[in-house]
Amino acid sequence: MSNLLRHALSTPVRGITWRHGVRSFFSMPPGVPITASARPNSAPQAWSPTPYVTETIGGGWHTYDIFSRLLKERIVCLNGSVDETTSASVVAQLLFLEADNPEKPISLYINSPGGSVTAGLAIYDTMTYIRCPVTTICMGQAASMGSLLLCGGTPGNRFCLPHSSIMIHQPSGGYSGQASDIAIHAKEILRVRLTLNKIYQRHLTKPRTLDDIEKLMERDYFMDAQEALDFGIIDRILDKREAEGEDGMK
């Protein structure tokens, strides 16, 4: 028996059965006790399990990690910092869903403190490039590049939950080297700032001049859900998911 198979068979599994024949489960990694009590004299371990969902379809079992299962429903999750790895994953999912059905909407759920400008712009450009309408929903926070992606969704379909936090600011960066090289990079940062300001201006629901946007973004500018709605970053606040036929929106 291979070591991989022996480990799989010896790994404890927890399961939760849902309605409609759906069962979700996750495996416990080695060294993590099944009980809730901590080991004596040991530091607590930070561990977040990845849930899996098993469906019975046509007499066969199909198992997915929870994010792949959400992808089947055309839901893409952007959680955490925006970097090259996250960007590549989100871009690939958007392109896949467009190939699957170019007319059907995609929902992008955002909970991000922001991150790399280039990685974020790769996601933004893909959102505007594909034919599918992209609905953006902020839950938790959409800061920095996260707020630009929230604002960059399809007009009329940019939402946030009631206690979301949205923050905009100018890009930051640093460079050391020869004076001429520093001047080149400073010029590039100013170009990027102007590009981002123009994107916000294009997507805001309220008309604002570039000068107004630049002044607001001189420092971190935080908004709650209502302030983001008034500012023009989102179209509506989602309060509670209602029965079909009711929008549950403000």
**pLDDT tens for residues 55-90?**
777 778 878 788 988 999 999 999 999 999 999 999
Same domain, residue pair 80 and 169: yes
- pTM, two decimals, is 0.77
Same domain, residue pair 87 and 196: yes
Same domain, residue pair 24 and 82: no
pLDDT at 225 over 50: yes
Question: What's the Cα-to-Cα distance from 153 to each of 100, 101, 181, 223, rounded to whole Å?
Answer: 20, 18, 36, 18
In the set 24, 87, 107, 144, the catalytic residue is 144
82-133 pLDDT per residue, tens: 999 999 999 999 999 999 999 999 999 999 999 999 999 999 999 999 999 9
Same domain, residue pair 125 and 58: no
Task: Report pLDDT for 113.
Answer: 97
Same domain, residue pair 216 and 111: yes
Quote the domain boundaries for residue 61.
Answer: 3-30+48-66
Same domain, residue pair 88 and 12: no
Contact call for residues 123 and 149 (beta carbons, < 8 A):
yes
- Domain presence at residue 80: yes
Total structural domains within the chain: 2
- Domain presence at residue 85: yes
pLDDT at 10 over 50: no
Same domain, residue pair 59 and 95: no
Same domain, residue pair 142 and 169: yes
CATH of the domain at 112: 3.90.226.10
Kindly report the average pLDDT of the chain as a whole number: 82
pLDDT at 22 over 50: no
143-176 pLDDT per residue, tens: 999 999 999 999 999 999 999 999 999 988 777 7
Domain finish residue from 13, 39, 66: 66
In the set 27, 81, 116, 169, the catalytic residue is 169
Task: Report pLDDT for 46.
Answer: 55
Task: Report pLDDT for 221.
Answer: 96
Task: Report pLDDT for 18.
Answer: 36
29-59 pLDDT per residue, tens: 444 333 333 344 445 555 567 788 787 777 7
- Domain presence at residue 250: no
Same domain, residue pair 121 and 222: yes
Same domain, residue pair 62 and 109: no
**Is 169 among the catalytic positions?**
yes
Task: Report pLDDT for 203.
Answer: 97
pLDDT at 24 over 50: no
174-203 pLDDT per residue, tens: 777 788 888 888 899 999 999 999 999 999
